[in-house]
Amino acid sequence: MVAVSFLYPKFLFLLLLVPFFVFVYFFSVVYNKKKAIVFSNFEAMERFYDIEFFSKNFLALYLNLAILILLIFTIAGTAVSFSVDTSAFSYVIAIDGSGSMTTSDIFPTRLGAAKISAKNFIESLPIGVEIGIIGFSGDAEVLQVLDNSKIRAKMAIDSMGIGQIQGTNIYNALIAANKLFEGRNMKSIVLISDGQLNVGDAPQITRYANRNNLIVNTIAVGTEKGGLTELNTLSTVDEEFLKALAFNSGGKFFRATDVNELENSFSALIRETNEQVTIDITLYSLFAVVILFALTWIMHNLRFKVIP
């Protein structure tokens, strides 16, 4: 069963503008045609310029009404709820943005491969899964709070770069993730790093994960030989810590030496169940408004020969 809900239902009264605009449209067409035809020979002008001055352009009316209705639904915060196979977990993807992730032993770099694979993972998730994004280096930064919008999550990943503070602070990344999970029971962290822990200590990080019931799935990104960073220093992968963190928190460990292995690691983390999910469609309706507005503008300019 599909249900529609509104975050700000009080704005739905604006839908009364729809019949008002329909009335004004037809009234103006009839009134202006009767008034103008007394003074001008529009039939001759229409034949000469190949323009219909008083055409009942219902397509333009429909497009404008669609724009109005979609704008009202956007302002009202429209959401759609329905039953679907989705993931039992909410996910926070924590991506290492330390200097060692600039290493190019994985094309294009460790960070670049991690971002590509994380976005593909998000795209493969079932509808309705909540996703949060964290970037961390010497400190952790929340790039996207838990939300079921895949578009926002992928935009957050695109915005991530190498951190300004040096270091790999996985402890702070877990703290930030735990805050995002507030009120959720099924909490899964996907930690992508080369494992070069240099802020905090491993036992402290594991204790924090266990105390807060965090399942930490770790993906070690990088080859055995390692490679050179942007600063021409050799960077290898410390997979032992990442293995221990995953094992002790009930998660899974994966080793990825290329983009394909990264994507396979992500795919193994999805666990599905049938649930009632709610999707916020305000962003999608806003995109639809922009597209319809552009289409209306193009039609108007082509009709009056503004565009050559």
pLDDT at residue 1, rounded to an integer: 66
Beta strand residue intervals within the chain, DSSP E: 3-6, 78-87, 90-96, 131-136, 140-147, 187-193, 215-221, 227-228, 234-235, 253-256, 272-280
Instruction: Provide the 8-state DSSP code for 118.
Output: H
Strand partners, 237: none
Asked if 54 contacts 29 with a C-beta cutoff of 8 angstroms, the reply is yes
- Dig out the tokens for 218 from the structure: 């770790």
pLDDT at residue 49, rounded to an integer: 44
DSSP string, 155-220: HHHHT----SS-S--HHHHHHHHHHHTTT-SSEEEEEEE-----SS-HHHHHHHHHHTT-EEEEEE
Nearest partner of 140 among 94, 109, 101, judged by Cα? 94
pLDDT tens track, the chain, 308 positions: 678 888 888 999 999 988 888 888 777 766 666 555 554 555 554 554 444 544 556 777 788 889 999 999 999 989 888 765 556 788 999 999 998 899 988 889 999 988 988 898 898 888 888 999 999 998 999 999 999 889 999 999 999 999 888 888 999 999 999 999 988 888 899 999 988 777 667 889 999 999 998 999 999 888 888 888 877 888 888 888 899 999 999 899 988 877 787 777 777 776 655 556 678 888 888 899 999 988 888 877 776 454 45
**Three-class HEC string of 202-217:** HHHHHHHHHHCCCEEE
- Dig out the tokens for 147 from the structure: 């939300």
CATH topology of domain 89-270: Rossmann fold (3.40.50)
H or E element at residue 138: none
Sorted by where each begins, the domain ranges of the chain are: 3-80+279-303, 89-270
Largest Cα–Cα separation, the chain: 90
CA–CA separation, 103 and 113 (whole Å): 11
For the question of whether the overall pTM of this predicted structure is more than 0.85, the answer is: no
pLDDT at residue 2, rounded to an integer: 74
